[in-house]
């Protein structure tokens, strides 16, 4: 079969949707299928390429609205070569991008069966006239895609419930996931970084990790101010974004590492004493939580989408009632001052992940959906 994945943003842009697309697409190729990825053009990236995983990437011209966070597809994109391919099934990532609307309408017109996977639990914009306009646009976009007749899936139960706000009943979940064996190999991959040595963590000190976009909603700056209250505690921040300059200005013990290659992120999580995600963002199911659980890294986090499924209780993680720096500092102390209890929670999270959140299981479910979908041609 030839699968076509539509993802408005894709690697090398870092993010959970980007890696979700990559993980499913490369498993298609590994299973003997063909995988096309349609995404937005990026400076320095070719319009067409076949990558090392055998994925065929089509980058279409866009307007980089909101500093590229919301790429808007340019009118009449040059895609004749894409539609000349014998596409058997399409996977459309997220409900709100203009590329998603275009993809759904094109698939309907061409008789290509498809599904839509959503990854969020809130509106993209908040507050003021911008928030009102953004919500109006998202309802409009969802209505257009819904009328194309394709089933919607969520990456978590919370996402499925959020879709009800748009009059959409999800057909099921295709959860975010990881490959625990692959992550285990990456912890030992060369060149291996000794993060505790590189960041000069004291012998009796602790290493806290944060991985994600450096936007206010994700909470990295609040976390940094909490770590400053903990003697001997070092914070490693992996990511880029608007808060990067403010974080760098704090200096030690806060280390801003920028956008790291995936093996280095996994090694950081494997070596950290705690992974903290104080997010207030409209998450779908944060990939970093799954990777931290797979690395047996104790987790401190807010109640966000997917956490109730991956971390179903206080025996799997320490939950934050709010994201004030003092609250964060207290939660970190709970983990760091009782490593035995922290390890027990981490083991429980790992066991739950291995039972329910692997890419092998998600790929198998997607294949069943694709193989049973009636062709509209």
Residue 68 in this model has a pLDDT that exceeds 80: no
* pLDDT, average across residues 249-260: 95
Residue 236 in this model has a pLDDT that exceeds 90: yes
* SS3 (DSSP) at 197: helix
Token representation of residue 146: 């819904």
**pLDDT at residue 376 in the model:** 57
Lowest mean pLDDT of 215-219, 247-251, 302-306, name the range.
302-306
Domains within the chain, CATH numbers bracketed: 2-177+358-372 (3.40.50.2000), 180-356 (3.40.50.2000)
Q: Which residues are CB-contacts of 336 (< 8 A; sequence separation ≥ 6)? A: 206, 230, 233, 273, 274, 342
Categorize the per-residue pLDDT at 306 as very low, low, confident or very high, splitting at 50, 70 and 90: confident
Q: Which residues are CB-contacts of 44 (< 8 A; sequence separation ≥ 6)? A: none
Q: What is the spatial distance between Cα 341 and Cα 353, in angstroms, rounded to a whole number? A: 19
The tens digit of pLDDT for each residue in 178-205 reads: 999 999 999 999 999 999 999 999 999 9
**pLDDT at residue 37 in the model:** 98
The tens digit of pLDDT for each residue in 13-49 reads: 877 899 999 999 999 999 999 999 999 999 999 999 9
Residue 127 in this model has a pLDDT that exceeds 80: no
Between 136 and 305, whose confidence is greater? 136
Tell me what percent of the residues of the chain surpass a pLDDT of 90: 86
Q: What is the spatial distance between Cα 336 and Cα 68, in angstroms, rounded to a whole number? A: 38
* pLDDT, average across residues 345-365: 95
Angle at CA 161, nearest 5°, toward 159 and 165? 105
Scan for tokens 């990511």, then name that residue.
Answer: 239
**pLDDT at residue 67 in the model:** 78
Lowest mean pLDDT of 30-34, 123-127, 172-176, 186-190, name the range.
123-127
* pLDDT, average across residues 305-320: 93
- Structural contact between residues 98 and 76, judged by C-beta atoms closer than 8 angstroms: no
The mean pLDDT of the chain is: 94
Residue 303 in this model has a pLDDT that exceeds 80: yes
**pLDDT at residue 125 in the model:** 72
Task: Give how far Cα 169 sits from Cα of 63, 173, 282, Å.
Answer: 31, 11, 19
Selection from 11-15, 258-262, 295-299 with the highest mean pLDDT: 295-299
Distance of alpha carbon 208 from its chain centroid, rounded?
20
Token representation of residue 371: 């193989």
Residue 377 in this model has a pLDDT that exceeds 80: no
Q: What is the spatial distance between Cα 124 and Cα 8, in angstroms, rounded to a whole number? A: 14
Task: Give how far Cα 17 sits from Cα of 112, 175, 370, Å.
Answer: 22, 11, 20
Residue 60 in this model has a pLDDT that exceeds 80: yes
Categorize the per-residue pLDDT at 78 as very low, low, confident or very high, splitting at 50, 70 and 90: very high
**pLDDT at residue 157 in the model:** 92
């Amino acid at each position: 079969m030839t699968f076509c994945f539509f993802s408005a943003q894709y690697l090398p842009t870092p993010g959970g949707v980007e890696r979700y697309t990559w993980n499913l697409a490369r498993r298609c190729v590994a299973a003997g299928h063909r995988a096309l990825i349609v995404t937005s053009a990026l400076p320095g990236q070719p319009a067409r390429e076949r990558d090392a995983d055998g994925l065929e990437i089509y980058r279409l011209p866009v307007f980089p609205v909101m500093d590229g966070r919301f790429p808007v597809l340019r009118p009449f994109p040059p895609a004749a070569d894409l539609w000349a391919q014998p596409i058997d099934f399409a996977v459309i990532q997220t409900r709100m991008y203009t590329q998603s609307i275009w993809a759904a309408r094109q698939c309907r017109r061409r008789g290509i069966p498809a599904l839509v996977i959503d990854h969020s639990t809130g509106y993209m914009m908040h507050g003021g006239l911008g928030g009102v306009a953004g919500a109006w646009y998202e309802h409009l976009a969802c209505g257009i895609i819904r009328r194309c007749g394709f089933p919607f899936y969520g990456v978590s139960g919370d996402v499925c419930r959020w879709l009800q706000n748009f009059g959409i009943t999800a057909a099921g979940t295709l959860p975010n996931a990881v490959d625990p064996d692959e992550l285990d190999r990456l912890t030992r991959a060369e060149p291996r970084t000794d993060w505790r040595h590189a960041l000069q963590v004291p012998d009796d000190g602790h290493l806290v990790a944060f991985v994600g976009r450096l936007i206010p909603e994700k909470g990295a700056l609040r976390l940094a101010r909490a770590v400053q209250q903990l003697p001997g505690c070092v914070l490693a921040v992996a990511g880029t974004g608007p808060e990067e300059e403010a974080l760098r200005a704090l200096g030690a013990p806060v280390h801003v590492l920028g956008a790291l290659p995936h093996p280095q992120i996994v090694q950081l999580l494997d070596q950290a004493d705690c992974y903290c995600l104080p997010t207030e963002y409209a998450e779908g199911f944060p990939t970093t939580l799954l990777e931290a659980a797979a690395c047996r890294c104790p987790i401190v986090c807010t109640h966000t989408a997917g956490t109730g499924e991956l971390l179903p209780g206080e025996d799997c993680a320490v939950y934050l009632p709010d994201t004030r720096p003092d609250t964060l500092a207290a939660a970190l102390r709970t983990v760091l001052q009782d490593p035995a209890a922290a390890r027990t929670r981490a083991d429980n999270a790992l066991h739950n992940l291995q039972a329910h959140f692997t890419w092998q299981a998600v790929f198998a479910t997607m294949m069943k959906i694709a193989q049973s979908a009636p062709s509209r041609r």
